[in-house]
Structure 1
Amino acid sequence: MTKWMDISQRLDSHVPTWPGDTPFSYRLTWTKQMSGSVNVGQFTMSTHTGTHIDAPFHFDENGKRVLELDVNLYVGPARVIHLSDVERGKAASIGVDEVAQIDLQGVTRLLIRTGAWADRRVFPEKIPEIHPDLAEYLAKCGVRLLGLDLPSVDPLDSKALPAHHALTRHHIHILEGLVLDDVPAGDYELVALPLPLADADGSPVRAILRPMGPCNGAIEACGDERGV
């Protein structure tokens, strides 16, 4: 059986957080010596640390919160694509032109490797953002979940967050902070379930991938196989 690949960031004291946001910490509140039976830990973190999903409430006061989201969107077939122009610095943003030559028809979950966040021990100063016009294009292809190896879909200094809003208007959910460095382009099974946080604006996830059948090589080799 093909093994699952972990594409999540490790949660420890070295995981970078958004400047000014809550740093990650873990400590034992009870030790086995203190309790006589068990170690019990406590962690503190932002809902947007490491690999995580954004709920619409993150940027819309009237948006859905984590527990209102359809968990089925975070489990199922996914397509991983590589944007070499972005990785080489030839494209400063990700729009329709960057994906137009890739067959995305019928793909429900799209994961994009940009390679732009090279050192994940440090929060990046700049990232290639998603162009808002891409949302409509992806929606027409059937995409319902967009995942990136970046901490945001918008410029890091953006207050308006146009890509977040555009994706949500087109019913596309957002998965950020993936680790896709060693993942070949192709079709996979994805599991990236958020925690059942009733009122939260986002949630950390443990994102994992497993190649799908014979189509675990380049996208071009996967022909007409569709992710649904």
Structure 2
Amino acid sequence: MTRWIDISQPLDENVPVWPGDTPFSYRLTWTKEDTGSVNVGQLTMSTHTGTHIDAPFHFDSSGKKVIDLSPDLYLGPVRVVYLKHPQTIGPEELKGENLEGVSRLLIRTDTWLDRSSFPAAIPPVHPTLAPFLAERGIRLLGLDLPSVDPLDSKELPAHHALTSHGVHILEGAVLYRVEAGDYEMVALPLPLTEADGSPVRAMLRPI
């Protein structure tokens, strides 16, 4: 049987978060010793910790929240493309890739390999990538990066462009051991009714 590949960032106190965002913590609020029967834990974390999806509400106060997004976006065939250390991610970088029939795309860049610290800079997605993907029927873009925009951006042009063209966003995937090719993906967000994003357990299985 073909084995699934976990492309999720492990969640513990060492997971890097966006500077100033809520650090991850887990603690036992009840212990088996105290209760006589069970351990019960408590999580504190940002909705954008580790491998996660962005809902449009993250950057648009009138945008859809996590619960409004179709689970189908995060289930099904996906193509992994390897762009080694690009300066930016736009149509020019993908012009040699066959994207026919692709509805979900993961881009491996290998520019954030040290997952113990937040990167100082990343290759951003150029806003012109949004119509390029939409014209080819791609509805989900995933990256091995914490954002699709420059880390110091306030306008978030790539976030807005992707959403306006119907392309949803998956960030923080761990792809450095994943070969380019076609896979089946599961990366479901939690059913959070008011949230701007959600951590996911993202898995790939070669097709």
TM-score (norm 1): 0.90
What secondary structure does 1:132 align onto?
Answer: coil
Structure 1 partner of 2:152 = 157
Q: Give distance in 2, aligned partners of 1:102 and 1:171.
A: 21
* Aligned partner (choices 174, 182, 192) of residue 169 of structure 2: 174
Look up the equivalent residue of 1:164 and give its one-letter code.
Answer: H
Match of 2:121 in 1: 126
Match of 1:64, as an amino acid? Answer: K
Partner residue of 1:195? 190
Residue identity opposite 2:22 in structure 1: T
Superposed CA deviations along residues 136-180 of structure 1, whole A, max 9, x for unmatched, are 001111100000000000000000000000000000000000000
2:8 corresponds in structure 1 to: 8
Q: 1:136 aligns with which of 131, 139, 162?
A: 131
Structure 1's unaligned 5+ residue stretches are 213-228
Number of equivalences: 207
The CA distance in 1 between the partners of 2:150 and 2:195, in whole Å, is: 23
Alignment of 1:34 onto 2:34: yes
Residue 22 (structure 1) shift: 0.1
Secondary structure of the equivalent of 1:110? Answer: strand
SS of residue in 2 equivalent to 1:129: coil
Shift of 1:106: 1.7
Letter in structure 1 aligned against 2:4: W
Deviations 1:51-92 (Å, cap 9, x if unpaired)?
0000000000110000000000100000000002xx2xxx42
Q: In structure 1, what residue type is equivalent to 2:126?
A: H
CA distance in 2, matches of 1:211, 1:105: 18
Please give the root-mean-square deviation of Cα atoms over the aligned residues, in Å: 0.5
Query: Which whole-Å CA distance do the structure 1 matches of 2:25 and 2:126 have between them?
Result: 34
Structure 1 residue ranges (4+ consecutive) displaced by more than 6 angstroms after TM superposition: none
Name the structure 1 match of 2:101.
106
Partners of 1:23 and 1:182 lie apart in 2 by: 27
Query: Where do 5+ consecutive residues of structure 2 fail to align?
Result: none
Aligned to 2:44: 44
Partner of 1:145: 140
